[in-house]
């Protein structure tokens, strides 16, 4: 009985780690895409920018 409880806890922990890792990868990919889009916009409009 005790081992079943331990295995269930380990299984749930593993599932949570996989889900959290997938979410972190997705957020990183989206933020990277947004940063690239922002950089491309700045490069395209560099002649319009003055300081």
Q: How far apart are the first and last CA of the chain?
A: 71
Phi, psi of 45 (to 5 degrees): -105, 20
Each residue of 1-32: pLDDT tens digit?
788 999 999 999 999 999 999 999 999 999 99
Half-sphere exposure of 43 (CA within 13 A, CB side): 6
The better pLDDT of the pair 13, 46 is held by: 13
pLDDT (0 to 100) of residue 49 = 81
Residue 50 has a pLDDT of: 79
Grade residue 51 by pLDDT with cuts at 50, 70 and 90. Answer: confident
Mean pLDDT of the 30-43 span: 97
Q: Which residue has the higher pLDDT, 31 or 47?
A: 31
Render the chain in DSSP notation, one character per residue: -HHHHHHHHHHHHHHHHHHHHHHHHHHHHHHHHHHHHHHHHHHHTTTT---
């Amino acid at each position: 009985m005790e081992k079943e409880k331990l295995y269930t806890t380990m299984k749930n922990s593993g599932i949570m780690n996989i889900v959290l890792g997938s979410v972190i990868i997705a957020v990183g990919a989206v933020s990277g895409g947004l940063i690239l889009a922002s950089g491309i916009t700045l490069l395209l409009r560099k002649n319009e920018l003055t300081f």
